[in-house]
A = this chain, B = another copy of it.
Amino acid sequence: MRALSRKNESLRKIELLAGVNKFADGSCLVSFGDTRVLCTATIETKVPMFLKHSGTGWVTAEYAMLPASCQTRIEREVVKGHQSGRSLEIQRLIGRSLRAVVDLEKMGERQIIVDCDVLQADGGTRTASITGGFIALYQAMQKLQNKYKLPELPINDYVAAVSCGIVNGTPMLDLDFDEDSNAETDSNFVMTGSGGIVEIQGTAEKVPFTENEFLKLLSMARTGTIELIQLQKKVVNSLNPKSEEE
């Protein structure tokens, strides 16, 4: 039995609280059960070197866990002097996923940084970061549009992510930390509002998996991301772009 009698194909309780930060250009406190990530988006007027004088914008992400977010305290990455491979891998995934639904040319030569700081980690922090990061990004894009009088919002679809895995032979949606630790196969899926796939990652943790098993996970992820995107739509509808102006 899963915690709280959850069904195998059910998400945990999802919350998306937009506008929780006073100074950021966009923000969202996202919860997937006990996993809680503070996503904030900041507009900058400079772009990475390779885009200078291109007229095109950029969206990037950074990811970190607070030291006491886990069951065992983790050392701050600054103490070791560099980000771990895991953090770099996750923030590259978040950035790619968000850029998949952004029209970078419409942004003009500006950058939005989406910071995903994990306050509490109970599995699925990267998928929560993408799902909540989209809301923070959306808010910042509204502010960008207002401030620079852009003809259109530079976002062309929704994007959300969810994990699936095979635990003791059973495919399950949205694994919590304990399930994830026991999974034979662990996977993450990033999908858009119009049904396209942005990213698939599947990893055999203990034994290789079969094509059929993988297709079951893909199907569960489809159900999960549809539900997540419906929640995103509600939040987006409630955002009053006027309130973003300073």
Chain A residues within CB distance 8 Å of chain B: 21-24, 27, 34, 38, 40-42, 44, 62, 64, 66-71, 73, 76-79, 81-85, 88-89, 91-92, 96, 100, 113, 115, 117, 119-122, 187, 191-192, 194-204, 207-211, 214, 218
Contacts and interface: CB of A to CB of B under 8 A. Distances in A.
A44 B44 CA distance: 31
Contacts of A196: 204, 207-210
Contact of A204 (B78, B121, B198): B198
B197 A214 contact: yes
A202 B209 contact: no
Contacts of A194: 208
A76 B64 contact: yes
Contacts of A119: 21, 38
Nearest to A208: B196
A231 to B, nearest CB: 20
